[in-house]
Amino acid sequence: MTGIGAVTPVAIGGHESYDAMCQGKSGIRKLPSWADEYPAQLAGYIDFDPKANGLKSKTISRNGRYTHFALAAAGQAVTDAKLDLATVNQDRFGCIIGSGIGGVEWFEDNCKAFEAAGRGYNGLRSVQQFLIPALISNTASGMVAIQYGAKGPNYCVTTACASGTHAIGSALKHLRDGEADIMLAGGSEAALTPLCFAGFCALTAMVSKFNESPEKASRPFDKDRAGFVMAEGAGVIILETEEHALARGATIYCELAGYGASCDANHITAPAPEGEGLKRCMEAALHDADCTPADVGYINAHGTSTQLNDKTETQAIKSVFGDHAKNLKISSIKSMIGHSLGAAGAIEAVVRLPILFPTLLSIH
Protein backbone atom coordinates (compact mmCIF):
# COMPACT_ATOMS: atom_id res chain seq x y z
CA MET A 1 0.00 0.00 0.00
CA THR A 2 1.78 3.13 -1.23
CA GLY A 3 -0.74 5.96 -1.45
CA ILE A 4 -3.88 7.14 0.34
CA GLY A 5 -6.65 9.68 -0.23
CA ALA A 6 -9.93 10.45 1.51
CA VAL A 7 -12.87 12.82 1.61
CA THR A 8 -14.53 12.56 5.03
CA PRO A 9 -16.84 14.56 7.31
CA VAL A 10 -13.86 15.62 9.46
CA ALA A 11 -11.36 16.61 6.74
CA ILE A 12 -10.40 16.48 3.08
CA GLY A 13 -7.36 14.22 2.78
CA GLY A 14 -6.30 10.87 4.21
CA HIS A 15 -3.60 12.14 6.55
CA GLU A 16 -5.75 15.15 7.48
CA SER A 17 -8.71 12.91 8.34
CA TYR A 18 -6.52 10.73 10.56
CA ASP A 19 -5.15 13.78 12.39
CA ALA A 20 -8.66 15.17 12.91
CA MET A 21 -9.86 11.89 14.38
CA CYS A 22 -6.87 11.71 16.72
CA GLN A 23 -7.89 15.16 17.95
CA GLY A 24 -11.39 13.86 18.67
CA LYS A 25 -13.09 15.97 16.02
CA SER A 26 -16.66 14.98 15.16
CA GLY A 27 -18.03 15.38 11.65
CA ILE A 28 -21.63 14.60 12.59
CA ARG A 29 -24.11 17.48 12.49
CA LYS A 30 -27.73 18.39 11.80
CA LEU A 31 -28.97 18.14 8.24
CA PRO A 32 -30.63 21.04 6.37
CA SER A 33 -34.27 21.91 6.97
CA TRP A 34 -35.56 19.19 4.61
CA ALA A 35 -34.88 16.69 7.40
CA ASP A 36 -36.62 18.65 10.17
CA GLU A 37 -39.65 16.38 10.21
CA TYR A 38 -37.70 13.12 9.95
CA PRO A 39 -37.13 11.04 13.10
CA ALA A 40 -33.37 11.09 12.37
CA GLN A 41 -31.97 14.53 11.56
CA LEU A 42 -28.20 13.99 11.80
CA ALA A 43 -25.53 12.90 9.35
CA GLY A 44 -21.84 12.96 8.56
CA TYR A 45 -22.25 15.66 5.89
CA ILE A 46 -19.24 17.07 4.02
CA ASP A 47 -18.63 20.67 2.95
CA PHE A 48 -16.98 19.90 -0.37
CA ASP A 49 -15.98 22.27 -3.15
CA PRO A 50 -15.13 20.18 -6.24
CA LYS A 51 -13.37 23.07 -7.99
CA ALA A 52 -11.14 23.66 -5.00
CA ASN A 53 -10.26 19.97 -5.14
CA GLY A 54 -9.05 20.06 -8.71
CA LEU A 55 -12.16 19.08 -10.68
CA LYS A 56 -12.93 20.86 -13.95
CA SER A 57 -16.30 22.51 -14.59
CA LYS A 58 -17.34 20.00 -17.25
CA THR A 59 -16.48 17.07 -14.99
CA ILE A 60 -18.47 18.62 -12.15
CA SER A 61 -21.57 19.32 -14.23
CA ARG A 62 -21.71 15.88 -15.84
CA ASN A 63 -21.12 13.69 -12.80
CA GLY A 64 -22.69 12.89 -9.46
CA ARG A 65 -21.35 13.96 -6.10
CA TYR A 66 -20.06 10.46 -5.35
CA THR A 67 -17.90 10.64 -8.48
CA HIS A 68 -16.59 14.04 -7.39
CA PHE A 69 -15.54 12.47 -4.07
CA ALA A 70 -13.87 9.52 -5.79
CA LEU A 71 -11.89 11.72 -8.18
CA ALA A 72 -10.66 13.90 -5.34
CA ALA A 73 -9.62 10.95 -3.17
CA ALA A 74 -7.94 9.20 -6.10
CA GLY A 75 -6.00 12.35 -6.93
CA GLN A 76 -4.74 12.55 -3.36
CA ALA A 77 -3.67 8.89 -3.47
CA VAL A 78 -1.75 9.35 -6.73
CA THR A 79 0.02 12.40 -5.31
CA ASP A 80 0.71 10.70 -1.98
CA ALA A 81 2.26 7.72 -3.78
CA LYS A 82 4.46 10.05 -5.86
CA LEU A 83 3.33 8.08 -8.89
CA ASP A 84 4.91 9.15 -12.18
CA LEU A 85 2.05 8.47 -14.59
CA ALA A 86 4.33 8.93 -17.58
CA THR A 87 6.29 5.82 -16.62
CA VAL A 88 3.37 3.59 -15.59
CA ASN A 89 2.41 0.70 -17.87
CA GLN A 90 -1.21 1.73 -18.43
CA ASP A 91 -2.27 -1.77 -19.49
CA ARG A 92 -1.24 -3.06 -16.05
CA PHE A 93 -2.77 -0.19 -14.08
CA GLY A 94 -6.30 -0.93 -12.86
CA CYS A 95 -9.06 0.76 -10.86
CA ILE A 96 -11.91 -0.59 -8.73
CA ILE A 97 -14.10 1.93 -6.89
CA GLY A 98 -17.07 0.53 -5.00
CA SER A 99 -20.35 2.32 -4.30
CA GLY A 100 -23.53 1.09 -2.72
CA ILE A 101 -25.90 3.59 -4.34
CA GLY A 102 -24.14 5.85 -6.87
CA GLY A 103 -25.40 9.22 -8.07
CA VAL A 104 -28.77 9.10 -6.35
CA GLU A 105 -29.21 12.91 -6.31
CA TRP A 106 -29.35 12.91 -10.11
CA PHE A 107 -32.11 10.30 -9.99
CA GLU A 108 -34.17 12.28 -7.48
CA ASP A 109 -33.77 15.64 -9.24
CA ASN A 110 -34.63 14.25 -12.67
CA CYS A 111 -37.64 12.34 -11.35
CA LYS A 112 -39.02 15.60 -9.95
CA ALA A 113 -38.43 17.43 -13.21
CA PHE A 114 -39.89 14.58 -15.28
CA GLU A 115 -43.08 14.41 -13.23
CA ALA A 116 -43.47 18.21 -13.11
CA ALA A 117 -43.15 18.42 -16.88
CA GLY A 118 -45.99 15.96 -17.36
CA ARG A 119 -43.99 13.06 -18.71
CA GLY A 120 -44.37 12.49 -22.46
CA TYR A 121 -42.34 14.75 -24.75
CA ASN A 122 -42.11 17.55 -22.19
CA GLY A 123 -40.88 15.06 -19.63
CA LEU A 124 -38.25 13.81 -22.05
CA ARG A 125 -36.99 17.33 -22.63
CA SER A 126 -36.72 17.90 -18.87
CA VAL A 127 -34.31 15.00 -18.37
CA GLN A 128 -30.62 15.89 -18.26
CA GLN A 129 -28.42 14.41 -20.97
CA PHE A 130 -25.97 12.81 -18.54
CA LEU A 131 -28.58 11.34 -16.18
CA ILE A 132 -27.69 7.69 -16.79
CA PRO A 133 -23.88 7.90 -16.59
CA ALA A 134 -24.14 10.23 -13.58
CA LEU A 135 -26.29 7.89 -11.51
CA ILE A 136 -24.88 4.42 -12.25
CA SER A 137 -22.47 3.02 -9.70
CA ASN A 138 -19.51 2.24 -11.96
CA THR A 139 -19.06 5.76 -13.35
CA ALA A 140 -16.72 6.79 -10.54
CA SER A 141 -14.35 3.94 -11.32
CA GLY A 142 -14.51 4.75 -15.02
CA MET A 143 -13.89 8.46 -14.51
CA VAL A 144 -10.91 7.80 -12.25
CA ALA A 145 -9.48 5.47 -14.90
CA ILE A 146 -9.91 8.12 -17.60
CA GLN A 147 -8.28 10.74 -15.38
CA TYR A 148 -5.17 8.65 -14.76
CA GLY A 149 -4.97 6.46 -17.85
CA ALA A 150 -5.63 3.21 -16.01
CA LYS A 151 -6.36 0.64 -18.73
CA GLY A 152 -6.18 -2.51 -16.60
CA PRO A 153 -9.05 -4.20 -14.70
CA ASN A 154 -11.84 -1.70 -14.09
CA TYR A 155 -15.25 -2.15 -12.50
CA CYS A 156 -17.44 -1.26 -9.55
CA VAL A 157 -18.27 -3.45 -6.58
CA THR A 158 -21.77 -2.87 -5.19
CA THR A 159 -22.24 -4.82 -1.98
CA ALA A 160 -23.86 -2.28 0.35
CA CYS A 161 -21.65 -1.44 3.37
CA ALA A 162 -18.89 -3.79 2.21
CA SER A 163 -18.46 -2.24 -1.26
CA GLY A 164 -15.22 -0.38 -0.56
CA THR A 165 -13.68 -3.29 1.34
CA HIS A 166 -14.60 -5.76 -1.38
CA ALA A 167 -13.11 -3.40 -3.98
CA ILE A 168 -9.78 -3.44 -2.14
CA GLY A 169 -9.89 -7.23 -1.76
CA SER A 170 -10.66 -7.63 -5.46
CA ALA A 171 -7.73 -5.35 -6.33
CA LEU A 172 -5.46 -7.53 -4.21
CA LYS A 173 -6.52 -10.59 -6.19
CA HIS A 174 -5.74 -8.93 -9.54
CA LEU A 175 -2.25 -8.10 -8.29
CA ARG A 176 -1.69 -11.61 -6.95
CA ASP A 177 -2.92 -13.19 -10.17
CA GLY A 178 -0.42 -11.21 -12.21
CA GLU A 179 -3.08 -9.20 -14.04
CA ALA A 180 -1.84 -5.81 -12.85
CA ASP A 181 1.16 -4.12 -11.26
CA ILE A 182 -0.75 -1.28 -9.64
CA MET A 183 -4.38 -0.71 -8.64
CA LEU A 184 -6.42 2.23 -7.43
CA ALA A 185 -9.04 0.81 -5.09
CA GLY A 186 -11.64 2.08 -2.66
CA GLY A 187 -15.20 3.29 -2.30
CA SER A 188 -17.31 6.42 -2.60
CA GLU A 189 -20.81 7.36 -1.45
CA ALA A 190 -22.97 10.49 -1.48
CA ALA A 191 -26.49 9.43 -0.61
CA LEU A 192 -27.54 12.19 1.80
CA THR A 193 -30.60 13.18 -0.23
CA PRO A 194 -34.19 13.64 1.01
CA LEU A 195 -35.54 10.46 -0.62
CA CYS A 196 -32.60 8.21 0.17
CA PHE A 197 -32.37 9.46 3.76
CA ALA A 198 -36.12 8.87 4.15
CA GLY A 199 -35.60 5.32 2.95
CA PHE A 200 -33.04 4.66 5.67
CA CYS A 201 -35.35 6.27 8.22
CA ALA A 202 -38.06 3.85 7.10
CA LEU A 203 -35.75 0.94 7.94
CA THR A 204 -35.72 2.25 11.56
CA ALA A 205 -32.01 1.51 11.92
CA MET A 206 -30.82 5.11 12.30
CA VAL A 207 -30.43 6.91 15.60
CA SER A 208 -33.10 9.48 16.49
CA LYS A 209 -32.32 10.08 20.17
CA PHE A 210 -29.55 12.64 19.86
CA ASN A 211 -30.79 15.14 17.27
CA GLU A 212 -29.79 18.04 19.51
CA SER A 213 -26.42 16.51 20.46
CA PRO A 214 -24.89 15.36 17.16
CA GLU A 215 -21.47 14.47 18.59
CA LYS A 216 -23.10 11.96 20.97
CA ALA A 217 -25.24 10.17 18.37
CA SER A 218 -22.84 7.55 16.99
CA ARG A 219 -21.60 5.45 19.91
CA PRO A 220 -20.36 2.00 18.78
CA PHE A 221 -20.35 -0.68 21.48
CA ASP A 222 -21.84 1.74 24.05
CA LYS A 223 -24.69 0.45 26.19
CA ASP A 224 -26.79 3.46 25.13
CA ARG A 225 -26.24 2.97 21.39
CA ALA A 226 -29.49 3.51 19.52
CA GLY A 227 -28.75 3.21 15.80
CA PHE A 228 -26.31 4.32 13.14
CA VAL A 229 -25.65 7.80 11.77
CA MET A 230 -25.67 8.00 7.98
CA ALA A 231 -22.70 9.68 6.31
CA GLU A 232 -20.98 10.30 2.99
CA GLY A 233 -17.40 10.34 1.73
CA ALA A 234 -14.72 8.44 -0.16
CA GLY A 235 -11.51 6.57 0.47
CA VAL A 236 -9.03 5.44 -2.19
CA ILE A 237 -5.71 3.65 -1.81
CA ILE A 238 -2.94 2.67 -4.20
CA LEU A 239 -1.89 -0.96 -4.11
CA GLU A 240 1.19 -2.21 -5.93
CA THR A 241 3.01 -5.48 -6.16
CA GLU A 242 6.07 -5.45 -3.91
CA GLU A 243 8.33 -5.74 -6.95
CA HIS A 244 6.74 -2.73 -8.64
CA ALA A 245 6.85 -0.58 -5.50
CA LEU A 246 10.47 -1.39 -4.74
CA ALA A 247 11.56 -0.89 -8.34
CA ARG A 248 10.29 2.69 -8.36
CA GLY A 249 11.47 3.46 -4.83
CA ALA A 250 8.00 3.97 -3.41
CA THR A 251 7.28 4.54 0.27
CA ILE A 252 5.43 1.43 1.44
CA TYR A 253 2.91 2.00 4.23
CA CYS A 254 2.09 -1.63 4.89
CA GLU A 255 1.44 -4.99 3.28
CA LEU A 256 -2.11 -6.06 2.51
CA ALA A 257 -1.60 -9.66 3.54
CA GLY A 258 -5.02 -11.29 3.51
CA TYR A 259 -8.65 -10.93 2.56
CA GLY A 260 -11.79 -12.88 3.38
CA ALA A 261 -15.41 -12.70 2.26
CA SER A 262 -18.52 -14.55 3.38
CA CYS A 263 -22.30 -14.36 3.53
CA ASP A 264 -24.32 -15.49 6.52
CA ALA A 265 -27.48 -15.96 4.37
CA ASN A 266 -29.56 -15.01 7.37
CA HIS A 267 -31.62 -11.85 6.84
CA ILE A 268 -31.65 -8.81 4.55
CA THR A 269 -30.42 -6.48 7.34
CA ALA A 270 -29.88 -8.50 10.56
CA PRO A 271 -26.63 -10.43 11.11
CA ALA A 272 -26.72 -14.14 11.91
CA PRO A 273 -26.87 -15.05 15.60
CA GLU A 274 -23.47 -14.93 17.33
CA GLY A 275 -21.89 -13.45 14.19
CA GLU A 276 -21.49 -16.80 12.44
CA GLY A 277 -20.91 -15.28 8.99
CA LEU A 278 -18.46 -12.70 10.30
CA LYS A 279 -16.58 -15.44 12.16
CA ARG A 280 -16.00 -17.36 8.92
CA CYS A 281 -14.94 -14.17 7.16
CA MET A 282 -12.27 -13.33 9.74
CA GLU A 283 -11.02 -16.90 9.74
CA ALA A 284 -10.72 -16.76 5.95
CA ALA A 285 -8.74 -13.49 6.12
CA LEU A 286 -6.36 -14.94 8.70
CA HIS A 287 -5.88 -18.08 6.63
CA ASP A 288 -5.27 -16.06 3.46
CA ALA A 289 -2.68 -13.94 5.29
CA ASP A 290 -1.05 -17.02 6.85
CA CYS A 291 -1.57 -15.41 10.27
CA THR A 292 -2.69 -16.79 13.59
CA PRO A 293 -5.15 -14.97 15.86
CA ALA A 294 -2.23 -14.14 18.18
CA ASP A 295 -0.54 -12.20 15.35
CA VAL A 296 -3.31 -9.61 15.31
CA GLY A 297 -2.90 -6.50 17.44
CA TYR A 298 -5.75 -4.26 16.30
CA ILE A 299 -9.20 -4.69 14.78
CA ASN A 300 -10.93 -1.89 12.95
CA ALA A 301 -14.51 -2.90 13.68
CA HIS A 302 -17.57 -2.34 11.54
CA GLY A 303 -19.03 -0.89 14.77
CA THR A 304 -22.21 0.66 13.41
CA SER A 305 -23.69 1.64 16.79
CA THR A 306 -26.73 -0.57 16.24
CA GLN A 307 -27.86 -3.05 18.88
CA LEU A 308 -27.58 -6.15 16.71
CA ASN A 309 -24.34 -5.42 14.85
CA ASP A 310 -22.24 -4.46 17.85
CA LYS A 311 -23.39 -7.44 19.88
CA THR A 312 -22.87 -10.06 17.17
CA GLU A 313 -19.57 -8.49 16.10
CA THR A 314 -18.29 -8.80 19.66
CA GLN A 315 -19.42 -12.42 19.79
CA ALA A 316 -17.65 -13.19 16.51
CA ILE A 317 -14.39 -11.60 17.65
CA LYS A 318 -14.43 -13.58 20.90
CA SER A 319 -15.15 -16.77 18.97
CA VAL A 320 -12.25 -16.30 16.55
CA PHE A 321 -9.65 -14.89 18.92
CA GLY A 322 -10.51 -16.69 22.15
CA ASP A 323 -8.51 -15.48 25.17
CA HIS A 324 -6.42 -13.24 22.89
CA ALA A 325 -9.55 -11.10 22.30
CA LYS A 326 -8.88 -9.48 25.69
CA ASN A 327 -5.51 -8.24 24.41
CA LEU A 328 -6.79 -6.73 21.15
CA LYS A 329 -7.15 -3.04 20.45
CA ILE A 330 -10.59 -2.52 18.86
CA SER A 331 -12.19 0.71 17.65
CA SER A 332 -14.70 2.08 15.16
CA ILE A 333 -14.17 5.45 13.49
CA LYS A 334 -17.92 5.66 12.86
CA SER A 335 -18.12 7.30 16.27
CA MET A 336 -16.66 10.43 14.63
CA ILE A 337 -17.77 10.31 10.99
CA GLY A 338 -20.85 8.09 10.96
CA HIS A 339 -21.56 5.27 8.52
CA SER A 340 -20.62 6.19 4.95
CA LEU A 341 -22.23 3.05 3.50
CA GLY A 342 -20.28 1.79 0.45
CA ALA A 343 -17.33 4.06 1.25
CA ALA A 344 -17.02 3.01 4.90
CA GLY A 345 -14.49 0.19 4.56
CA ALA A 346 -12.32 2.16 2.14
CA ILE A 347 -12.18 5.20 4.42
CA GLU A 348 -11.27 2.92 7.30
CA ALA A 349 -8.47 1.38 5.21
CA VAL A 350 -7.06 4.88 4.70
CA VAL A 351 -7.23 6.37 8.17
CA ARG A 352 -6.06 3.34 10.13
CA LEU A 353 -2.71 3.15 8.29
CA PRO A 354 -0.77 5.38 10.73
CA ILE A 355 -1.80 3.13 13.62
CA LEU A 356 1.34 1.08 14.23
CA PHE A 357 0.30 -2.39 15.33
CA PRO A 358 1.90 -5.61 14.12
CA THR A 359 -1.14 -6.75 12.17
CA LEU A 360 -4.38 -4.96 11.33
CA LEU A 361 -7.72 -6.61 10.68
CA SER A 362 -10.61 -4.67 9.20
CA ILE A 363 -14.15 -5.98 9.52
CA HIS A 364 -16.90 -5.08 7.10
Residues assigned a catalytic role: 161, 302, 339
**What DSSP line would sit under 76-119, residue for residue?**
HHHHHTT--GGGS-GGGEEEEEE-SS-SHHHHHHHHHHHHHTTS
- Report the alpha-carbon distance of residue 256 to residue 268 in Å, rounded: 30
- Report the alpha-carbon distance of residue 179 to residue 350 in Å, rounded: 24
**What DSSP line would sit under 207-261, residue for residue?**
--S-TT-GGGT--TT-TT---B-BB-EEEEEEEE-HHHHHHTTPPP---------
- Report the alpha-carbon distance of residue 199 to residue 187 in Å, rounded: 21
Amino acid at 329: K
Q: What's the length of the chain?
A: 364
CA dihedral (206, 212, 218, 219) positive or negative: negative
